[in-house]
Amino acid sequence: MGGGEGKDSYFAGETDNDDVRGGAIERDMTNRIEWDEHGEKVNEKIMGKINSLIKSKRWFFGVRRQDDLFSYSASYWLRARLAGANGFVETILFPRRKKYLVRLFNLNDAKAFHRRSEKIILDNPGVLLKDIGEEYKIWKRIFKLCASLSENIERGDLDASQKVFLTLIEECGVGGASFFKIFSQGMMLEKNKDKAMGGAQRIKKILEKHNQWRNSRRFKEVKLRKAYYDFIKLFIKQKKLNIRPKGVFENLTASEVVGMVNGSCRLSLVKKKILRRKKHDYIYLYLKNRAGQDVVIDDSRLVNPLRRHFASLENQKSSSMEENIHGYVACQVRDKISGAVIVVSDEKALTRLKPNLENKILVTRQTSPYFFPYLRGVKAIITDEGGITSHAAIISREMEIPCIIGTRIATKVLKTGQPVEMDLVCGTVRMLGDGTNRTK
């Protein structure tokens, strides 16, 4: 996440207001993290409060990695306004060793949220179809805005593009809240399908609709991200800013980008934030306490201790060089299966390698719809990430492919050609031999 772009003079022009107040959001900044006039130091009293607050709670690691700070915060930044104080799960996002972004969630919040979803969905499974229908309407509005934004960008009309962008990002905040609700309901219905009201056939059809919804979302997110990217490119070009869109996506939150676009955020302060986060990394918070709601900590005095704290939690979770790799069984088919693995870490590796997976055990961080053409004839799937409603879990059940998900470490431990045995009763993967006869 850090480095690679240099410390150019990024921004020209300033406004008098340092507060970032995205779109219709008008937030009281009194209890939030405070910066000095240079935007360099977080208020020590608030810093201590945030540190204690985070360490006092129980956190668990998300089952998939996140693309960038902007996209993640765009899905979360309206959560408190839309869901109320108790209607969302607290989250933290931070770069792990400058390689990828790690998500954490408040464990107690998540359990309470899923319990509410479970009660709703077991009493009336049809709610899930209703909510999916409502979210399709949200995406219809989003794609209409994307088309309008594209037309304005082609004409080079920055003023019109800005108006559409600000509306689009508000709509995406609504979509982010909707996603988590549907995701939770689907997971609870899958977990408790034998208890749900309405009969087995109806529940099966509802889960099929949920699976279709889940699989289609990745393509939608890619299209949305392109619309964001094209607008940021236009904004940078017409404002003559010496910065790459990648720097904006990786280092600014949605509300900060909104502030940059609508003029409510001092551009020189934004420049300092980008440079500081590239150098020292950061921690993004969306907590229920307003002092830590939709804010980024990039003061190394707080970032470094918290990163060490999170690393210790991760180390407690798993020992990455265990002989047996542990996960969750998504599709059993049979009790045990063995074979040679082929490691395809992500979509980029898939595009680059175009692997032949026939009679091989695919090992990947997570699958997506882009993997589908390659899965015919695959022997089994093992993923680092994903839950029971993830793409790998859904597609393995549909295609009856033996699958273990959520191992966290499979792509780190296993190498292409390594023979393994998958125990599809216990959810473990055992390495066989030393793998000296590995083949590509």
**Claim: this prediction has a pTM higher than 0.85:** no
For CATH 3.50.30.10, the residue range(s) in the chain are 324-431
- Lowest average pLDDT, out of 37-51, 239-253, 287-301, goes to 37-51
Q: What pLDDT shows up at residue 85?
A: 54
Q: Which residues have a Cβ under 8 Å from the Cβ of 235 and sit 6 or more positions away?
A: 158, 161, 162, 241, 261
In whole angstroms, give the CA distance from residue 324 to residue 289.
40
Exposure string of 365-388, with b = 16+ CB inside 10 Å and e = fewer, is bbbbbebeebbeebbbbbbbbbbb
pLDDT > 90: percent of the chain: 35
**pLDDT at position 25 over 60:** no
For 358-373, write each residue's pLDDT tens digit. 899 999 988 988 898 8
For 123-160, write each residue's pLDDT tens digit. 999 999 999 999 999 999 999 999 999 999 999 999 99
Burial class (CB in 10 A: 0-12, 13-18, 19+), 99: exposed
Domain 324-431, architecture per CATH: 3-Layer(bba) Sandwich (3.50)
In sequence order, the β-bridge partners of residue 100 are 96
